């Protein structure tokens, strides 16, 4: 069925600090008091400020109640659009996300409840924006501590425009078997225990959301459960009052009795007292006002809610309980006796045949979330990714088991971090120094090499940093910087097989393969690459053994006899020296060394190092504001 608009639900604007003023306010309210249900099984809501857990709880409640459509029509998350994946029973659904309240209301015109999970700083503004939407009928403000002036303005607007505000500082409300707001009634286990998946016969209203959960359980134990429950909120100025909802319950045929839980502070309960005295409530009311312990304290005590502070004798729990009792409500002698009072009232109505207890039904089983089921040990699930180099699940990330704080405090360098993330172990300091030297020496080789040229052209085309970097990196291969792995493979194979330089070079020639790591476009035998000399000098000083490097030098001597440009280049130097690092450090087994060379670790050094230079070229071109590059005609041979 369609939810009928709730006409003329008037909100209290201010608290009168005299009983006379409170009574007058109650009379004005009762004259135009609205009747009817707030929610139904077709009610849909817009949820403001995405919170996964309360939304999922609403959807799980929907499934439990046998709703055909989810109660959350859309989500409003400022600055975001798209969809959020959630579960409706076993089915995964996509709920639309809108960036503005206006857009959400236009997209979902049948959603008439606005569930506001904004912080107290922005709750008032977003609530007012929702109230101004013609499709919104009920606004629930969850935040506590909303500025009182803002709250009064929202209530004034709601009253003038025939709308309902629940809260602020509320957990919300629930119609059993139909609809619930956010976290109302807590977990699904509690919902089931409180029999909230089907309607009962009791209307319940409270200031406290936490105590609402407690009373739902109490009521379920001694009656057939609640029909509707509302927590009006604990702030000083709630959008609706206890008496508002009692009078509304009084006009709902399915509600046969009411339970009211008030608290010390304010005069709200006296409007209910007045309604009872005037005979406006025709159904039994069981009531209790919490806070009777306040008189044990010598000074005024502020309890949990902003409104839970006794400002005088009339605002004390004892005075309110006595007034309610005298007005005709069933008021026990203590909170402990409240359950018995509810039971006696319900049983009497059953005896008088005014209540036919609701027949119990078995709710459907809510599928358990995979994460919860795994945690409880109920299921096993395969993982999708394996990671052995880092772990971010603890208090701080770890690289190969080493906490980040240790890396910083013990002065680890870039080479040490590479050793942890690439080799999963800490290697000797001379090894990490060698890695760092390789990075420094290979960071850049001027603007004319192919990688830098590509990056410069891309940067001058107005592309971003990542695009410019990638175009340069994509040129790395057998002809540019990518020969380190191949040099290591071939030098290692030849040395391990005992080939002479002659046998190695001539054998490669017969196969039609250039010797990786040998040859340079600029450097010659009489003009060696300074980078190669620096690497060799460091290795001879610090490495326990340089057998692979010495073999590469012997190969270079042979190739120089053929051509003066067939020198050992930086790829060959790094490739051969890295073999010496792996073999001489004693940290790697032979199978591990073979795997490192085969996977392509060594080219990783060049990629990492050259990224520094390519990023530099990108920044350089953008800083210089260079225009789009066009290659000059005179540098192109046009031919048929």
**547-560 helix and 501-511 helix, angle to the nearest 10 degrees:** 70
| pLDDT the model gives residue 310 | 54
| pLDDT above 90 coverage of the chain, percent | 78
| Range scoring the smallest mean pLDDT among 41-55, 279-293, 306-320 | 306-320
Task: Enumerate the active-site residues.
Answer: 305
Among 179-183, 239-243, 312-316, 324-328, where is mean pLDDT lowest? Answer: 312-316
Average pLDDT over residues 180-198: 94
How far out from the chain centre does Cα 214 lie? 30
Backbone angles phi, psi at 597, to 5 degrees: -70, -40
**C-beta of residue 252 within 8 angstroms of C-beta of residue 203:** yes
- Asked whether the predicted pLDDT for residue 333 surpasses 80, the reply is yes
pLDDT, tens only, 149-182: 999 999 999 999 999 999 999 999 999 999 999 9
Are 300 and 307 within 8 A, CB to CB?
no
Domains, the chain, with CATH or none: 37-171 (3.40.50.720), 199-367 (3.40.50.261), 450-624 (no CATH)
Identify the residue with better confidence: 576 or 12. 576
Q: How many residues are present in the chain?
A: 640
| 54 burial level (CB within 10 Å; 0-12, 13-18, 19+) | buried
pLDDT of 629: 96
H helical segments located in 162-293: 188-193, 209-222, 242-250, 268-277
pLDDT, residue 26, reads 35
Residue 307 confidence class, pLDDT cut points 50, 70, 90 = very low
Give the pLDDT of residue 342. 98
pLDDT confidence band for 372 (50 / 70 / 90): confident
Give the Cα-Cα-Cα angle 528, 533, 535 (nearest 5 degrees): 140
Spatial distance between the Cα atoms of 484 and 288, rounded to a whole number of angstroms: 82
pLDDT of residue 8: 35
What is the maximum span of the chain, computed from C-alpha positions, in angstroms?
118
Phi, psi of 383 (to 5 degrees): -85, 160
- Tokens found for residue 257: 């009795």
Instruction: Please tell me which residue, 176 or 295, carries the higher pLDDT value.
Output: 176
Kindly state the average pLDDT of the residues 38-48. Answer: 97
Whether residue 28 is predicted with pLDDT greater than 90 in this model: the reply is no
Return the SS3 of 353. coil
Alpha carbons 6 and 137: distance in angstroms, whole number: 8
- Percentage of the chain modeled with pLDDT above 70: 91
Q: Would you place residue 1 in the very low, low, confident or very high pLDDT band (cuts 50, 70, 90)?
A: very low
What is the pLDDT, as a whole number, of residue 298?
Answer: 56
Query: Is the bond into 102 cis (omega within 30 degrees of 0)?
Result: no
pLDDT at 11 over 60: no
Higher pLDDT, 574 or 268: 574
Question: What is the DSSP track for 568-614?
Answer: B-HHHHHHHHHHHHHHHSS-S-HHHHHHHHHHTHHHHHHHHHHHHHH
Please, which pLDDT band fits residue 237 given cuts at 50, 70 and 90?
confident
| Confidence at residue 373, expressed as pLDDT on a 0 to 100 scale | 87
pLDDT band for position 210 (cuts 50, 70, 90): confident
Helix (H, G, I), strand (E, B) or coil at 195: coil
pLDDT, average across residues 475-493: 86
pLDDT tens digits, 446-467: 999 999 999 999 999 999 999 9
Beta bridge partners of 85: 94
Average pLDDT over residues 103-122: 97
- Residue 483: what pLDDT? 83
């Amino acid at each position: 069925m369609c939810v009928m608009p709730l006409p003329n639900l008037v909100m209290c604007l201010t608290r009168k600090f005299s009983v006379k003023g409170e009574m007058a306010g109650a009379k004005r309210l009762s004259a135009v008091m609205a009747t009817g249900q707030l929610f139904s099984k077709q009610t849909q809501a817009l949820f403001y400020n995405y919170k996964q857990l309360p939304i999922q709880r609403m959807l799980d409640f929907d499934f439990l109640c046998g709703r055909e459509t989810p109660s959350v029509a859309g989500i409003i998350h400022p600055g975001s659009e798209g969809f959020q994946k959630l579960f409706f029973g076993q089915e995964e659904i996509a709920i639309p996300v809108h960036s503005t309240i206006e857009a959400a209301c236009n997209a979902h015109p049948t959603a008439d409840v606005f569930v506001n999970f904004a912080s107290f700083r922005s709750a008032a503004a977003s609530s007012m924006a929702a109230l101004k939407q013609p499709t919104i009928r009920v606004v629930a403000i969850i935040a506590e501590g909303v500025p009182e002036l803002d709250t009064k303005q929202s209530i004034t607007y709601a009253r003038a425009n025939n709308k309902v505000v629940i809260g602020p500082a509320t957990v919300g409300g629930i119609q059993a078997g139909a609809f619930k707001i956010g976290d109302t009634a807590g977990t699904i286990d509690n919902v089931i225990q409180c029999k909230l998946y089907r309607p009962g016969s009791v209307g319940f209203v409270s200031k406290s959301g936490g105590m609402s959960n407690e009373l739902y359980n109490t009521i379920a134990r001694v009656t057939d459960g609640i029909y509707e429950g509302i927590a009006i909120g604990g702030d000083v100025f709630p959008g609706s009052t206890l008496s508002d909802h009692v009078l509304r319950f009084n006009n709902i045929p399915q509600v046969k009795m009411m339970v009211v839980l008030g608290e010390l502070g304010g005069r709200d309960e006296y409007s209910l007292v007045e309604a009872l005295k005037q005979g406006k409530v025709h159904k039994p009311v069981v009531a209790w006002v919490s806070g009777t312990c306040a008189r044990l304290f010598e000074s005024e005590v502020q309890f949990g809610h902003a409104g839970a502070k006794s400002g005088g004798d009339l605002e004390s729990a004892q005075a309110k309980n006595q007034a309610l009792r005298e007005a005709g409500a069933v008021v026990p002698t203590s909170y402990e006796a409240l359950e018995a009072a509810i039971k006696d009232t319900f049983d009497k109505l059953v005896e008088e045949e005014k209540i036919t207890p609701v027949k119990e039904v078995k709710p459907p089983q809510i599928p358990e979330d995979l994460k919860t089921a795994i945690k409880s040990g109920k299921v096993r699930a395969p993982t999708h990714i394996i990671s052995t180099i880092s772990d971010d699940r603890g208090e701080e990330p770890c690289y190969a088991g080493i906490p980040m704080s240790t890396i910083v405090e013990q002065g680890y360098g870039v080479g040490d971090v590479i050793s942890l993330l690439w080799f999963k172990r800490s290697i000797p300091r001379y090894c990490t120094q060698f890695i760092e030297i390789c990075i420094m020496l290979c960071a850049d080789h001027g603007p004319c090499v192919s990688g830098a040229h590509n990056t410069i052209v891309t940067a001058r085309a107005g592309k971003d940093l990542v695009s410019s970097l990638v175009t340069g990196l994509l040129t790395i291969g057998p002809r540019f910087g990518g020969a380190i792995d191949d040099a290591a493979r071939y030098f290692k194979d030849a040395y391990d097989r005992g080939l002479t330089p002659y046998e190695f070079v001539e054998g490669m020639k017969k196969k039609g393969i250039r010797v990786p790591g040998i040859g340079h476009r600029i450097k010659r035998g009489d003009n060696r690459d300074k980078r190669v000399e620096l690497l060799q000098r460091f290795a001879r000083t610090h490495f326990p053994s340089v057998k692979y490097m010495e073999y590469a030098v012997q190969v270079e001597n042979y190739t120089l006899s053929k051509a003066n440009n067939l020198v050992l280049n930086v790829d060959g130097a790094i490739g051969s020296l890295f073999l010496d690092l792996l073999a001489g450090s004693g940290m790697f087994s032979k199978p591990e060394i073979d795997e490192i060379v085969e996977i392509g670790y060594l080219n990783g050094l060049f990629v990492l190092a050259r990224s520094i230079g390519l990023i530099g070229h990108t920044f350089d071109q953008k800083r210089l504001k260079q225009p789009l590059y066009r290659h000059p005609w005179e540098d192109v041979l046009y031919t048929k």
